[in-house]
Amino acid sequence: MQQEQTQKQIFSSSSKHHGCGSVISWEQIEEGIKGSFQRGFFRITFSKEAIARIQISQSESFEENPYSVIKSDPFYAFDLDEEEKYLYLKTETLKVQLNKVNGVIKFYDSQGHLLNEDDTLGTAWIGTEVNCYKKVQEGERFIGLGEKTGGLDRSGKAFTNWNTDYFAYGVGDDPLYMSIPFYVGIHSKGQYGIFFDNTHKSVFNFGASTNRFMYFGAEDGDMDYYFIHQASVSGIISEFTNLTGRMELPPIWSLGFQQCRYSYYPDSEVLTLAKTFRDKDMPADVIYLDIHHMEAYKVFTFDGEKFPDPKSLIKHLKSLGFRVIVIMDPGIKAEENYLPYQEGQSKDLFVKYPDGAEYQGQVWPGWCAFPDFTKSKTREWWAEKMAFYTDAGVDGFWTDMNEPASWGQFTPNLIEFDFEGEGASHRKARNIYGMQMARSAQEGSKFNSPEERPFILTRSGFAGIQRYAAAWTGDNVASEEHMLAGVRLVNSLGISGVSFAGYDVGGFAGEASKSLFARWMSIGAFSPFYRAHSMINSNDAEPWAFGEEVEEISRNYMKLRYALLPTIYSKFYSSTQTGLPICASLAIDYPLDQKVYHSAYENEYLFCDTFLVAPVESTKEITKVYLPEDDWYYLYTDEFYAGKKEIYLDCPLNYLPVLVKAGSIFMMQNVVSNTSQINDGVLRVHVYKGGLGSEFIHYEDDGLSTNYQSGEFSERKMSYDPEKMELILGKPSGNLGSAYSEIEFYFHGFQLVTVTVNEKSHKVEEKDFAFIGKLTEFDPLPEQEHPYHEIKNLKTIKIKNDKEEIKISGLF
Is the distance from CB of 76 to CB of 61 less than 8 angstroms? no
Q: Give per-residue pLDDT as tens, 700-750.
A: 999 999 999 999 999 999 999 999 999 999 999 999 999 999 999 999 999
In the chain, the amino acid numbered 242 is N
For residues 261-288, average pLDDT = 98
pLDDT over 70 (residue 7): no
pLDDT at residue 97, as a whole number = 98
Tell me which long-range contacts 309-318 makes (C-beta under 8 A, separation of at least 24): 309/267, 310/267, 310/392, 310/393, 311/391, 311/392, 311/393, 313/267, 313/270, 313/271, 314/392, 314/393, 314/394, 315/393, 316/271, 317/270, 317/271, 317/274, 317/287, 318/393
- 132-184, pLDDT tens digit by residue? 999 999 999 999 999 999 999 999 999 999 999 999 999 999 999 999 999 99
Is the pLDDT higher at 75 or at 725? 725
> Measured between alpha carbons, how far is 210 from 134 in angstroms, rounded to an integer?
12
- pLDDT tens digits for 188-229? 999 999 999 999 999 999 999 999 999 999 999 999 999 999
Q: How far apart are CA 351 and CA 162, in angstroms?
A: 19
Residues 6+ apart with CB under 8 A from 694: 661, 663, 664, 665, 719, 720
How many CB atoms sit inside 10 A of residue 687's CB? 24
pLDDT by residue (tens digit) across 24-62? 999 999 999 999 999 999 999 999 999 999 999 999 999
- Dmax over CA atoms of the chain, in Å, equals 102
Exposed / middle / buried, residue 771 (Cβ in 10 Å: 0-12, 13-18, 19+): buried
Hey, what's the torsion of the CAs at 596, 602, 604, 609, to 10 degrees?
A: 60
- The three-state secondary structure class of 342 is helix
Judged against a pLDDT cut of 50, whether residue 1 lies above it is answered with no
Residues designated catalytic: 400, 403, 475
Distance CA 704, CA 626 (A): 39
CA-angle at 311, arms to 310 and 317, nearest 5°: 85
Quote the pLDDT of residue 73: 77
Does pLDDT of 760 surpass 90? yes
pLDDT at 414: 98
Judge contact between 381 and 350, C-beta under 8 A: no
CA 658 distance to own-chain centroid:
21
pLDDT in tens, 552-561: 999 999 999 9
Percent of the chain exceeding pLDDT 90 equals 96
Average model confidence (pLDDT) across the chain: 96
SS (H, E, C) 80-117: EEECCCEEEEECCCEEEEEECCCCCEEEEECCCCEEEE
Dist CA 526 CA 647 (whole Å): 21
What is the arithmetic mean of pLDDT over 321-335? Answer: 98
Mean pLDDT for the stretch of residues 551-571: 98
Number of H helices, E strands in the chain: 13, 50
Evaluate the CA torsion angle 600, 206, 493, 230 in order and state its sign.
positive
Specify the pLDDT at position 782.
61
Q: How far, in Å, CA of 809 to CA of 812, rounded?
A: 9
- Please state the rounded mean pLDDT for residues 640-656: 98
Determine the Cα–Cα distance for residues 303 and 287; give it in Å rounded to an integer. 17
Q: 504 near 489, Cβ under 8 Å?
A: no
Strand partners, 344: none
pLDDT of residue 23: 98
In this prediction, residue 5 has a pLDDT band, given cuts at 50, 70 and 90, of very low
pLDDT score at 787: 95
Q: Judge whether residue 10 has pLDDT over 50.
A: no
Is the pLDDT confidence value at 682 over 50?
yes
Q: Is 304 helix (H, G, I), strand (E, B) or coil?
A: coil
pLDDT-derived band at 9 (thresholds 50, 70, 90) equals very low
- Tell me the average pLDDT across 481-486: 98
- State whether the Cα torsion 349-350-353-356 is positive or negative: negative
pLDDT at residue 744 in the model: 98
Residue 10 CA to residue 2 CA, distance in Å, equals 12
Helix axes 339-346, 376-385, angle to 10 degrees: 160
User: pLDDT of 768-799, one tens digit each?
Assistant: 999 999 999 877 766 668 999 999 999 999 99
* Tens-digit pLDDT profile for residues 110-135: 999 999 999 999 999 999 999 999 99
Mean pLDDT over 678-704 rounds to 98
The model's pLDDT over 343-363, given as tens digits with 9 standing for 90+, comes to 999 999 999 999 999 999 999
